[in-house]
Structure 1
Amino acid sequence: MTRKHITTGSPFERDIGYSRAVVVDGWVFVAGTTGYNYDTMIMPESIEEQCENTFKTIAKALWEAGSRLDDVVRVTYIIPDKAEWPKCWPITSKAFANARPAATMICADLQSPDMKIEIEVTAKIGS
């Protein structure tokens, strides 16, 4: 079994001890990803901007793994405030217009109070 680790260079990955994504046997497992802009390390205020940033980070990790959003088969959304969830629907439906993965939304606190969404995906390369 070969294993490839993908990183964004985020200090969280180093400090906590995880990879943005791990590729094993044609599968890509992308860690829970929040809405930071990793170029500036700034967290936008709105859930919509955070959701967009999250998908950019996930798409980049998938690309580095040889995959793409259209290969995603499973997605989990974690949202502290379920009232904000519908604001993300236009973004999520656009991101997964082709993949239409199995999905779950969970309400839970996130690592920092400024985080409004966290997204985790699993993709099968070339699916």
Structure 2
Amino acid sequence: MKEVIYSEKAPKPIGPYSQAVKVGDTLYISGQIPIDPKTNEIVGKNIEEQTTRVLENIKSVLEKSGYTLNDVVMTFVFLKDMKDFSKFNDIYSKYFTEKPPARVTVEVSRLPRDALIEIALIAQKT
């Protein structure tokens, strides 16, 4: 059974998609960019600030679904500039401190609203 998840503490979708979809014990979270859910505006001028906002948005969707960062098994990271990889990694590692998930990180030419980063993920209850 497919359950659509929506958290008021995360940005509203800016297109025809759900913040997250739960199927069985697996949660799929759509790509999150650094939008402040209160203002619906991009926040942060640098990769550190934007990464923090994205991960806080993700935490909100996880919590609404009854999951935590410890349940994340795979992340998909899209960076506007791979030169930001080290700075991104510094912030990311503060959120995934033990048994970090598998990850894909790629550089892309452009992201929605000219964000510097977007992260999607899969979480699994075990």
Show the counterpart of 2:89.
89
Structure 1 residues 97 and 54: alpha-carbon distance in aligned structure 2, compared to 1, 3 A threshold = same
- RMSD value over aligned CA atoms? 1.5
Counterpart check, 1:112 vs 2:117: no
8 Å contact from structure 1 (residues 71, 99) kept in 2: no
Show the counterpart of 1:51.
51
Deviation at 1:5, TM superposition (A): 1.1
Q: TM-score if structure 1 supplies the norm length?
A: 0.88
Tell me the number of residue pairs that the alignment of Structure 1 and Structure 2 aligns.
122
Q: TM-score if structure 2 supplies the norm length?
A: 0.89
Q: Which runs of 4+ in 1 moved over 2 A?
A: 7-11
Show the counterpart of 1:75.
75
Provide the rounded CA distance (Å) in 2 between the counterparts of 1:16 and 1:99. Answer: 33
Question: Deviations for 1:17-59, whole angstroms, at most 9, x for unmatched residues?
Answer: 1011111110010001011111122312111111111111101
Provide the rounded CA distance (Å) in 2 between the counterparts of 1:86 and 1:33. Answer: 20
Deviation at 1:7, TM superposition (A): 2.5
Q: Name structure 2 gaps, 5 residues minimum.
A: none
Percent identity for Structure 1 against Structure 2: 26
Q: Name structure 1 gaps, 5 residues minimum.
A: none
8 Å contact from structure 2 (residues 7, 64) kept in 1: no
Question: Deviations for 1:67-91, whole angstroms, at most 9, x for unmatched residues?
Answer: 1101100011100111112111121
